[in-house]
Amino acid sequence: MASLLEICQDAIAGVQDNAIPSTIIGNSSPLSMLLKVCAQDVGRSLERAYKWQALKKSYSFATSDGVTAYDVPEEMRRFVNMSIWSATDQWPLINVGHARYRELLSGIVVSSIRFQYEFSANQINLNPAPAADSVNIVFDYFTSYFCETSGGTGLDRWAADTDVSRLDGNLMSLGVRYRYLARQGLPYEEEKAEFLSAISDLRADDQPLSVIDVGVIGQAWPVNVSDGSWGI
């Protein structure tokens, strides 16, 4: 993985007659300060715009008796769709959305076999309220921490020259270069086009393609029925 210093040095190499900086963080030179801002902007824009596999993480929590609202990681940008499961019961939770959740709270409700949930106020809200027996809930998400320390601690902003990007280092350098040129009032169209082309190429290779079998009827997970012991 490329460090902040390497990203910025690669970005500025061959651009104008600038001397390549030996430090970025803590360097008060206009060039180093601008490169840091550009690197920050590129990292944040890339993590917001795409679901990079390098930014995918997992999280779990245990329910408590009567507690319905549970926090999610502060670094979470977005859920991985349909990834919220009860690892204890080995079935998925049912996403009912805001309107249906309000109906569950305010209307006539039949006891549910599975947990139903909605996401609001940065919390997962469960229905029905968990019982005394703890249930382990797991889900996947994409983090907003696009970089990390050399020791592996995630960050949403550059803090040291040795911090490394979780995203492709060359892509980061291309983004920093075109943003630097744009902020300097210099021609940047070619560099921006190269940056966008690199995004397209990397996104195409970022995930293996799934095989879709059109002859198979998928499981209708929202059906709220037990797995067996049916009587007639």
The per-residue pLDDT for range 115-156, each reduced to its tens digit, is 999 999 999 999 999 998 899 999 999 999 999 999 999 999
Give pTM, 2 decimals. 0.84
- The pLDDT score that the predictor gives to residue 227 is 58
52, 142 Cβ separation under 8 angstroms: yes
**Mean pLDDT for all residues in the chain:** 90
- Among left, alpha and beta (phi > 0; psi -120 to 50; other), residue 47 is alpha
- Report the 10 Å Cβ neighbour count for 1: 15
Q: Is the predicted pLDDT of residue 221 greater than 50, yes or no? A: no
Query: Does 223 or 57 have the greater pLDDT score?
Result: 57
Distances (CA, A) of 44 to 7, 39, 91, 117, 127: 15, 9, 34, 29, 35
- The pLDDT score that the predictor gives to residue 44 is 97
182-194: average pLDDT: 96
Tens digit of each residue's pLDDT (9 = 90 or more) over 16-25: 777 899 999 9
Q: Is the predicted pLDDT of residue 223 greater than 90, yes or no? A: no
